[in-house]
Structure 1
């Protein structure tokens, strides 16, 4: 497997090795565009793979755990980032047909290149055998926050475990998540409290939200997530706009509040003067009424264009040409789409929720997520004349995030 190549150090007090849990990102292979949390795990893979510190990758699969050795990061990254093929199925992949072909090929690749593998009960022993004492562990995808995985990682002598918690939405807004998820998430927080050495938060408001639910107070670091520059590329022919338009970006789920925008578009009517709305994101959960309404309005001729998956290049082009990004969400852990829009100088109309005013204080126009009348007024005004808004002085970037995360505690 290729080595890591030239790497640039972030801190002079490096640990003997790092280990990144890559379970979430691998589970997304073959399932379309990455979500916000997926992108965070990908950013960690990119950055830690380029550091001079040895990096191990841990992946939980349906059959157990796989441990990939130092030097694996760049090769795995090229297959996720650049679309390099994962290679042929192995005998196990041909027998077990659960998941997409690409996902099964990814698992076969991981099995071929793993330095070790084990069933659930052998994880602690495998880690002690292959991972150096004092290793710094990162879990940033909300996967494997349980006694089995974190408890085994804790048995690595001198290990330092950092967990990035993205939000408290399952506990503070249970009406927006799948049944049973609040209980599962509370169990995850309990495991974090038992085994983690520190928690990483992307915003102060997120730390305050989660502090109400963590049983023990853990050392914390606040490191805003980075905004990746989106490079515009040509649009598919079926997405070429024929009128002024807006974009809403994100999974179609209840907390994203697509319902408010459907109210606005219904009030404006299906006329040629009505601006278009590009609804970009896969269909989520507990949102059947909104999905049925969206389908009915599209069939009735409203200018609503839905696309479940769109590559970053065409997405950047759509955003850049729009009258604005609409972000009427009821709850967010960080809210990356408004920051990505701001980086492209695209106006943002957003909900007045605490995390938005923290991460992007003066750039958006803020409105209540319960006031479709005011949203319609602004949307109609921007359709006539796109506003010129003062760009934020400093958008967060990944270099800044990792400068905080890898230097705040010795040995990270």
Structure 2
């Protein structure tokens, strides 16, 4: 491949705003680490795009990877990019790799890349706003459908993070009467794989619930389960550690967190957690709890199993694709089932937990080497 462009708009914006990387951001960072030495960065706004010089690209990549928030340096870099936009760009056939959903909906973006001689390859993380619009903000369904349909009609290639995502994407293409571009399934590697040397953060038995607090993640049901645990077991009930920021329309869960007296000494809420602290909390947990109604991938599940931590998860097809029969699965509406599983796992001599620990020995986490091997072969086939 003679030339690679990496769209870093989302990554630079979030760095400027001082936000910690999400799962989508970590994918973009992995692509920079893989291709950045010989790639140029792209910044875009509403479909208008500019390619940074090689020197500016390397500065952008360095800032993103280091996570160093230099707002003045970012503003300076963007200003140079805007000035360079009026200058002729170096041409050369190649591929644009775009790992977030931002900007997929603008026809002019694809047109500009075609003029530059670039093939456009986008990653599709999920179609949740189309399949489960009730879990998204008003207007997101139409916006995401526009993104997906524009990509189906114009992209040269699509990367799916799972076979489940690709199957949903193919169904949407068929329903809309749109072609399904060339595609590849390339699963995502966990960002957290190595244990820390730190001891357990608390002495009591605890479980971890990881993810933004929002209706789709089903926090409210699990908090109700925890209230029942406290009613049954009192001070000896296990702790629940809720790691993640408060999202949208999560008032019911927030009411439980802030106003339910039985939960005040039994639930620990951590809005911001560094990678090292997250590893420490995760590795000492009795289990990761993952009661979501729908997921595009489910990185916490992969990260927990990679650390050797048991998982009790919703019975979702994407989870079974990634982890097979290793976790214990419970329907996300089955409150008594979640209660029974947590009680079983909390026992010091839990046979159920011991059985999963034995199954975890078979788990093999996806790697970035495998991801990029699949992607490189796919890119070669496009060219």
TM-score, normalised to structure 1's length? 0.82
Task: Tell me the CA shift for residue 400 of structure 1.
Answer: 0.7
Partner of 1:6: none
The yes-or-no answer on 1:44 pairing with 2:31 is yes
Residue among 92, 98, 106 paired with 1:139: 98
Distance, in Å, in 2 between the alignment partners of 1:23 and 1:85 is: 15
Task: Tell me the CA shift for residue 138 of structure 1.
Answer: 0.8
The yes-or-no answer on 1:332 pairing with 2:295 is yes
Alignment of 1:147-158 (within 5 A): 147-157=107-117
Residue among 130, 134, 140 paired with 1:175: 134
Alignment of 1:374-393 (within 5 A): 374-385=337-348, 387-388=353-354, 389=357, 390-391=359-360, 392-393=362-363
Distance, in Å, in 1 between the alignment partners of 2:14 and 2:124 is: 19
Residue among 306, 310, 320 paired with 1:347: 310
Alignment of 1:181-196 (within 5 A): 181-196=140-155
Task: Tell me the CA shift for residue 194 of structure 1.
Answer: 2.6
Task: Tell me the CA shift for residue 289 of structure 1.
Answer: 2.0
Residue among 196, 221, 225 paired with 1:260: 221
Partner of 2:210: 249
Distance, in Å, in 2 between the alignment partners of 1:63 and 1:203 is: 27
Task: Tell me the CA shift for residue 26 of structure 1.
Answer: 1.5
Helix, strand or coil at the partner of 2:258:
helix
8 A contact 1:19–1:136 mirrored in 2: yes
Task: Tell me the CA shift for residue 292 of structure 1.
Answer: 2.1
Moved more, 140-149 or 56-65: 56-65
Distance, in Å, in 1 between the alignment partners of 2:129 and 2:260 is: 30
CA-to-aligned-CA distance 1:129-175 (integer Å, 9 cap, x gap): 32423121111100111213222112222x21111111110000000
How many residue pairs were aligned?
Answer: 367
CA distance 1:26–1:83, shift in 2 (3 Å): closer
The yes-or-no answer on 1:108 pairing with 2:67 is no
8 A contact 1:67–1:115 mirrored in 2: no
CA-to-aligned-CA distance 1:68-95 (integer Å, 9 cap, x gap): 2235555434433334352xxxxxxxxx
Distance, in Å, in 2 between the alignment partners of 1:293 and 1:404 is: 45
Partner of 1:99: none
Helix, strand or coil at the partner of 1:199:
strand
Helix, strand or coil at the partner of 1:408:
helix
Distance, in Å, in 1 between the alignment partners of 2:269 and 2:113 is: 43
TM-score, normalised to structure 2's length? 0.88
* Long gaps (5+) in structure 1: 1-14, 87-103
Distance, in Å, in 2 between the alignment partners of 1:339 and 1:76 is: 29
Distance, in Å, in 2 between the alignment partners of 1:298 and 1:201 is: 44
Residue among 10, 16, 25 paired with 2:2: 16
* Long gaps (5+) in structure 2: none
Moved more, 288-297 or 323-332: 288-297
CA distance 1:247–1:112, shift in 2 (3 Å): same
CA-to-aligned-CA distance 1:309-337 (integer Å, 9 cap, x gap): 11111110110111010001111111100
8 A contact 2:195–2:307 mirrored in 1: no
8 A contact 1:319–1:341 mirrored in 2: yes
Residue among 34, 39, 42 paired with 2:21: 34
Partner of 2:366: 396
Helix, strand or coil at the partner of 2:29:
helix
8 A contact 1:230–1:313 mirrored in 2: no
Partner of 1:84: 68
Helix, strand or coil at the partner of 1:282:
coil
